[in-house]
Copies of this chain bind each other. A is one copy, B any other.
Amino acid sequence: MKTLRDYFPILTWGRHYGRQSLSDDLLAAVIVTIMLIPQSLAYALLAGLPPEAGLYASIVPIILYAVFGTSRALAVGPVAVVSLMTAAAIGAIAEQGSMGYGVAALTLAFLSGAILILMGVLRLGFIANFLSHPVIAGFITASGILIATSQASHILGVSAGGHTLPEMLTALIRALPQVNWITLVIGLSATGFLFWVRRGLKPLLRRMGIGARAADIVTKAGPVLAVVATTVAVWGLGLDAQGVRIVGAVPQGLPPLTLPSFSPDLIGLLIVPAALISIIGFVESVSVAQTLAAKRRQRIDPDQELIGLGAANMGAAFTGGMPVTGGFARSVVNFDAGAATAAAGAFTAVGLAVAAIALTPLIFYLPIATLAATIIVAVLSLVDLGILRRAWAYSRADFLAVAATILATLVMGVEVGVSTGVILSVALHLYKTSRPHVAEVGLVPGTQHFRNILRHEVQTDPAVLTLRIDESLYFANARFLEDYLADRVTPDCDLRHVILMCSAVNEIDLSALESLEAIAHRLDTMGIALHLSEVKGPVMDRLRGTDFLAHLTGRVFLSQHDAWQALRG
């Protein structure tokens, strides 16, 4: 039975909340807030939304996650991959910058929240397990490439759209003659500076004798420095008049109360993207949360996480936000900065609310190119093409799944990409199980252990054929087994007994049971008895409920060794 405390994790940590936790959480919140201001604006830009949407999506959602979520360090808000998926989903149905575009984003967040909560209530968190590690790695890598490419136009100061790599590249090349050189200088400087901050600044500060913690904070504040420097440059030199695109007027104030659209048409168009965003967001978030929880020997509850993330998205939908999830970078920063409880998230929300009220006039002159630079630097760390090599070295099936995911994502977009990865990895798994490995086994001398006659020196008997079937027997391989035995067992030999060694058979379904009956019947007409050995408890329970055992021409042996001793000539 779940208790109220399972549904409201805040009740657990809230009871013991003390001064130490408070000071840890406050410090973490300051650091994360500084990091999140430019990041939130940037991801709103990536999703095609006005910059304030990113700030709003980081305020109420964080508080709701703090109430319902089980991770103590997860920082919820707009993240790169989900923002890219949001742009792809909405871009297909509304004009960027239009009224409908913003409402569609709210609706997407609402649907995503509803799907996550429903999955949580129905305890469907296991669905995320069908995204294999290689598929996730491939999808994130391809998304990172897409995101970086999409931001290249802002660095160049041109307008270029597209949701796939070929579209984006074509648009970029076409737009090249319109390059705004001042924007390019700002964009490249910001990008170079941020890369340097990420790679070179912290070691430099440490060498200068600055403490690890302080060096870390300065490093995280790097994007803020870039924002301040470029904003001041544009303002001071009047570069906006030279065609440098700037953020412009951002409404000043707390997040507004907004309503998503409940139009059935819009819901129909957005429900599939919303489901994909929910699952991808959930997988990303849960991976981060589990990694961080394990470091402190805490546990997270994936089904309750669904509810926490669902509530966060619902919050985003009603407060002018966009789809959110637990982000990798921000959560790690939160964790490293010492966040002790989810209250750190709530304090971050307060910090961002203050920013939304007080700081928005200051970013009027912030160049879009700077935001693009922060995105590019953030996402390029996600790109890991080495997964292709590692998968190839391990297995062709894993490689095929990764390669197809990357290719489909780049060429056909995020939705097709992730679907391709999941469907292909499931299909490859099913294909493998539909043609199981079957080994003829014999006794390893001096033991009671039986192994493949082709790999080990073993004893066999011409009257007894023992086949170890290396797969559960179910509809997809039922006919394969029939065909295999028909090919393998011919009437004209000394063979009297066929033993199916079932140590690897974890299930026999109704289709396979019918095939076993057909096999037993066929062997019987050749004067050969069919035996089973090492049938597992759960499988045996099921067979006992049928008349298969009554009709079986042979016996069922507890161990293969028993069978061998009873049947050999």
Contact = CB atoms under 8 A, between A and B. Distances in A.
Interface of A: 126, 129-135, 294, 299, 390-391, 393-395, 397-398, 425-426, 429-437, 439, 444, 447-449, 451-452, 455, 470-472, 474-480, 486, 503-507, 509-511, 513-514, 522, 536-538, 542, 545-546, 558-559, 561
Nearest to A474: B429
Given A394-B545, A448-B448, A546-B394, A130 B476 contact: yes
Contacts of A558: 444, 449, 451
A130 B475 contact: yes
Contact of A395 (B435, B510, B559): B510
Contact of A133 (B425, B444, B475, B504): B475
3 tightest CB-CB pairs across the interface, nearest first?
A132-B475, A448-B448, A133-B511
Given A126-B434, A503-B503, A561-B447, A390 B471 contact: no
Given A129-B479, A470-B538, A471-B472, 6 more contacts: A126-B480, A129-B434, A130-B434, A395-B542, A397-B509, A398-B510
Contact of A514 (B133, B299, B451, B522): B133
A130 to B, nearest CB: 6
A430 B475 contact: no
A506 B436 contact: yes
Nearest to A452: B537
A503 to B, nearest CB: 4
Contacts of A444: 558-559
Contacts of A390: 510
Given A430-B426, A447-B561, A537 B131 contact: no
Given A133-B475, A561-B447, A506 B504 contact: yes
Contacts of A503: 503-504
Contacts of A436: 506
Could you tell me the dominant secondary structure of chain A's interface residues? helix
Contacts of A538: 437, 470
Contact of A393 (B132, B509, B545): B545
Given A448-B448, A504-B504, A545-B393, A132 B430 contact: no
B478 A133 contact: yes
Contacts of A506: 433, 436-437, 470-471, 504
Contacts of A449: 448, 558-559, 561
A434 B504 CA distance: 16
Nearest to A435: B126
A129 B477 contact: yes
A287 to B, nearest CB: 10
B475 A131 contact: yes
A394 B129 contact: no
A294 B129 CA distance: 42
A129 B514 CA distance: 14
The winner among A471, A479, A486, A538 for most chain B CB atoms within 10 A is A479
Contacts of A480: 126, 129
A379 to B, nearest CB: 23
Contacts of A561: 447-449
A492 to B, nearest CB: 13
B510 A394 contact: yes
B542 A132 contact: no
Nearest to A505: B504
B395 A509 contact: yes
Contacts of A426: 426, 430
A129 B447 contact: no
B134 A510 contact: yes
Contacts of A509: 132, 395, 397-398, 429
28 contacts: A126-B431, A129-B476, A129-B480, A130-B434, A130-B476, A131-B475, A132-B478, A132-B509, A133-B475, A133-B478, A133-B510, A135-B475, A393-B546, A394-B513, A395-B509, A395-B510, A397-B509, A429-B509, A433-B472, A433-B506, A436-B506, A439-B536, A439-B537, A449-B558, A449-B561, A455-B537, A503-B503, A503-B504
A131 B394 CA distance: 31
A255 to B, nearest CB: 35
B395 A475 contact: no
Nearest to A507: B432
B432 A129 contact: no
A296 to B, nearest CB: 13
Nearest to A521: B294
A337 to B, nearest CB: 24
A236 B490 CA distance: 62
A559 B458 CA distance: 14
Nearest to A559: B449
Nearest to A546: B394
